[in-house]
Structures are given as C-alpha cells and as structure tokens.
Amino acid sequence: MKNIKNRYFWISALLPISIMLGCSKSFLEKPPIDTIVDASFYKTDEQVLSGTGLLYSKVWFDYNDKASYNLGDFRAGTAFSAYNDRGNVLFNTTGNTPENGSSWRSFFIVVSQSNLAIVNINKYAGSGVSPQIKKMAIAEARFMRALAYRFLVMNWGPVPIIENNLELLADTSISRNTEKSVWKFITKEMREVAADLPVTAVKPGRLTRWSAEGMLARFYLTRAGVEANGSGLRNQVFLDSAKYYAESVIKNSGAALLKNYADLFLYPYDNNSESLFSLQWVYSPGAWGTQNSTPAYLAYSPDIANGDGWGGDKGATWWMMKQYEGITASVNDDTLKGRTLDQRLKATFMLPGTSYPEITQSITGGKQKLVFPFSGSDNNFLSIKKYVTGKAEDVGGLAASQYYSNDTYMMRLAEMYLVYAEASLGNSASTSDAKALEYFNKVHMRSGLPEFIVPLTADAIFKERFVEFAMEGMAWYDLVSLHYYNKAKAYSILNSQDRGLFFTAPDKFPDPTQWTFAKTKWATTDRKINANDGNFLLPIPSAEISQAPNLLKPPVDY
C-alpha cells in the first residue's frame, strides 16, 4: 500500500531465491548454497536488508494463501465453508489435506531460508556492512525461524529443530524434538533476538525490539500451559513473564490502538500504529508469491473483486454469531435474534443490509457502493469482510486477480492488552485486578461496547479474543494454548460449536436494526464435530512421511 514499502520489499522479491524452485521438495533437503545471494552481494547495509526482505513475504506465501484461515479459523469454528475445505471445517484434516501440506511446507521454508540467511550474512557480510545492521539482519532471521516453530509445534506437536540445513546433507537420522524442547528453544531465541533488534524500525514494516517482546509475551503465556505437566495449573513464572513483556510493549513501544476498529482493515492500513508485526505484501503482477492472494478466496463474489471473488460459501458460524453481545439464542438454540453495538461484527463479517461505502460493487448497467445483499430462502452466508478491500479502484489501483497488496497482521497491540489480562488472571477463577480490567477494557470499549465492570474470567477473555481476532488466523492457537493445560475445556468449546447452515434475515433492507437467524431445518448433519486426543493435532503430511520416515519415531529432547 505505502509506496516506500512496495519499493523496498520488492527488491528482495527479485533475488534468485530457492523457494521459487523448491516448493515440492522435502524440508529436509539441503538448500542450494547460492540460491539467495552470492558472496558478491552482502557489501552494504542496504544489500543486507534486502537479503532478509523476502523473510517478510514470499517464504510465508503458502501459509497465508489459504492455510491461514483454514487452520486458524475453520478448524477453530469461528468461520466455515459450506462446500469447500470440508476436512478442516469438520475437524478431520488428514495427511493429504492440501492446507496441511502447504502450511507445513511454508513453515519449514521459513526455517530453511532463515537458516541460510544467517549462514550467508555471517560468511559474506563485508566491511561495508555496519555491525548494527548485520546484528539486526541475523536477528530478523532468528525471529522468523522462532515464529515458524511456534506454528509448527502448536499444529503438529513434536517437530525437528533445524538450525543449519546445510549440515543435514543426506542425513536420514533426524528425529522430532519434544514440545517442551521446541518451546524452550524458541523462547531462548526470541529473548536474544529482542536484544538485537532496534527500538525503532529501520524501514517501515521491519521488525523492532517490540515485535520480539510482543512475541515473548505470547510465547510465555502459551508456555505457561505447556509447563503445566498435566496438573491443570499454568506455570506462574511464565505467566509473570507474559505480563512483564506485554506491559513493556504497551508502555514503551509507542504503539497505539487505532480509534476505530474497522480502520484496521480499510485501505491504506499497512504498518499503522497498532501493528507490531505484519507480513509485507506488494502488488506485483507476474511475480507470484510476493503478493497477498488471500482476498481472492474470501471475497464473496466477483462483483466486489478483480476477476476472482471465490468466497461465496464462506462465512461466520452459528457459534461465532453467539459470541457477539446482543445476539441472543432461543431456549432450544434453533434461532438467534438481535443486534450488537460491537463494531467488530460489521468489520469482520457481512450481514444482509450492511453498507460498505469503501467497496465498489458491479451491478447490471453500472456500479454502486456495496450494500451486502439479502438473498436465499432457507440458508445464506454471513460473508467475510476482514481483509476484503474491494476492486482495484478502491485501493489506488493496487489489485488484480489474486494479486493484492494489503498486509497480513501477525501481531497487533490489542493482543498485548489481552495477554496482560489473561496472565493476571492466571490460575484464578476470576480477577478484579484494576490494571487487568483497564487493559481489557481498552480493547473491549474500542469496539463500541460499554465498560466491562464485573470480575474478569477466563471465559470473558477467551470470548474477547475470539471476537477481536476472528478471521486473523488466531482462534485455533488460542484453543491450542488452552489445550496444553485444560484439554477437557478445549474439547468442550470445540464440540459445542454449531458449524452448519442457517438463514439470516434483516428486519428491513437496507440499514436493518436487527437480524433473525434460523438454523436450516433440512441440514441436520455435519453441524457438530468430535474433537479428541486422536484428531486435535494435525497429522504430519503424508508426502513428508514418505520422504522422512524417521518423523514417526518417538521425539527426543533437543
């Protein structure tokens, strides 16, 4: 979106990187030594920064494309697809499910390219490279590698820790490492990275100390559950660490919540005051993998897109709609009714009659500003709004079919407020801690809701997170964090969700004052899932098992 970002991150996309050629390869393969840059490249600060620029985009592409919402939201139950991606919606993802393989591949591409960047910078950075930039660039690579491992361990459990792909060669003895080992490794990495990243970004969108401290807050909150050791009680030392780092970011980073929630996803929102780390996409027709392709699959119709718009069967689940205050269920839960003051609903999902003047819609004989249509008779979809930015004319010309330039949030300041609140709650049933309530309300009231004044509970915080981060690929990882120390509750949430068809009718069109939701009577199957120990974690992709059968061996400590 911002021209400076597009010019800067585009440099790295022109480099001869191995991921353009190696997407079908096993993560265990040795990456070609000369695939990113050769010894003649790392001569200046700008060259070194360009060398790590690809770590903000293309290496994450296979995850961001479709896997991010398939794993992060469809499996979590915040959204669903009625006719596509059903394995993830119905919680029976297999070793051959496309999004399983693409995300695994993407995360290990991040690992291998980060490893290679570290090797090349250490080996080839010349005297013209300042010590500060060299240190920062290596820290960027370590940050990305640690974040990739966070995704890997939370989706697949034990995974092999690889710090140097060049040393693997034809080694077939590599084993998975235990979950605790992975969490220990990435926490240590991120602590060291935080000390090496600058306080202020050297370029718009680049990592800072606050990006790393934010990740430490996230890591420690989850690791507190990993270290519960089956007791159901999270590790208090790690809870305290989560609070410490969350508050450090809140107080010292200079980041600030945007006043209006919807502005987080309105063009041009990239690298705004609330973003702590985002994937940096560019409008790059012809250079596949450097752009954001996700809006193509989320936009509900070609009418609001650019030759794509394939998300017509995607939308909020029945369960997700029940999370919004003001939407109430009947006694037997077959109807919902009401409206909400929560501005996050309109910014995340489209309900019949809602207006989006920032999006142009094609109609017979012309165009108009979008009013989400009211259609169907016994089922329709509350389509995805978040990350859907409209036609090229709505975004300064920076859009074409499957080529969008809007960035993907990986961490926002709002999360730090909620991490602090949850870490303060800790192992208690509730908390009236004044600062925890204050921070919780920073997020809660920004959405247009009244002040939350009763003692905070885990349920209130989880609900706030589900609503705040729906369709940002976050909900699944909140459930995994819960699963580490309270499996029964994680399964209870998942197995209570209704993921089936329903019909939404406005009381008037356009500009309704409330909606009525009714479950589709004939759609009685596939409404619920059965989450359990056997299907909670993803199975290692079948293609990887065939190439590296040692992945089936018991994990060992790292």
Q: Which two tokens stand for residue 254?
A: 């200079």
Distance CA 54, CA 113 (A): 9
Distance CA 21, CA 35 (A): 10
The burial class, CB within 10 Å (0-12 / 13-18 / 19+), for 393 is: exposed
Partners of 292 in beta bridges: 404
pLDDT of res. 479: 98
What are the percentages of helix, strand and coil residues in the chain, rounded to 5? 45, 10, 45
Distance CA 56, CA 271 (A): 13
pLDDT of res. 36: 46
pLDDT of res. 454: 85
* 24 domain residue, yes or no: no
Phi, psi of 380 (to 5 degrees): -155, -175
pLDDT of res. 38: 57
* 91 domain residue, yes or no: no
Distance CA 424, CA 57 (A): 34
Question: Which secondary structure element, helix H or strand E, spans residue 278, and what is its range?
Answer: strand 275-279
Q: How many CA atoms lie within 13 A of 293 on its CB side?
A: 18
* 89 domain residue, yes or no: no
Looking at residue 225, the DSSP 8-state letter turns out to be H
* 338 domain residue, yes or no: yes
* 371 domain residue, yes or no: yes
Phi, psi of 79 (to 5 degrees): -145, 165
Question: Which secondary structure element, helix H or strand E, spans residue 404, and what is its range?
Answer: strand 403-404
* 339 domain residue, yes or no: yes
Q: What is the number of structural domains in the chain?
A: 1
Q: Which two tokens stand for residue 236?
A: 């208090």
Distance CA 279, CA 64 (A): 9
pLDDT of res. 12: 31
Helix, strand, or coil (residue 394): helix
Looking at residue 261, the DSSP 8-state letter turns out to be G
pLDDT of res. 381: 98
* 95 domain residue, yes or no: no
Distance CA 421, CA 432 (A): 10
Distance CA 198, CA 212 (A): 10
pLDDT of res. 39: 61
Pairing of strands 335-338, 515-519: antiparallel
pLDDT of res. 172: 58
* 360 domain residue, yes or no: yes
Question: Which secondary structure element, helix H or strand E, spans residue 411, and what is its range?
Answer: strand 408-412
Task: Give per-10-residue mean pLDDT for the chain (558 aa).
Answer: 38 34 38 48 92 95 98 98 97 97 97 95 94 98 98 98 79 84 98 98 97 99 94 96 98 98 97 98 94 98 98 98 98 97 98 98 96 97 98 98 98 99 98 97 98 95 98 98 98 98 98 97 97 98 91 94
Domain of 343, in residue numbers = 294-404+500-519
H-assigned helices in 427-503: 434-446, 458-469, 475-485, 487-496
Residues sharing a CB contact under 8 Å with residue 234, sequence separation 6 or more, in sequence order? 224, 225, 227, 228, 426, 427, 485
pLDDT of res. 88: 98
Buried b (16+ CB within 10 A) or exposed e, 309-344: bbbbebbbbbbbbbbbbebeeeeeeeebbbbbebeb
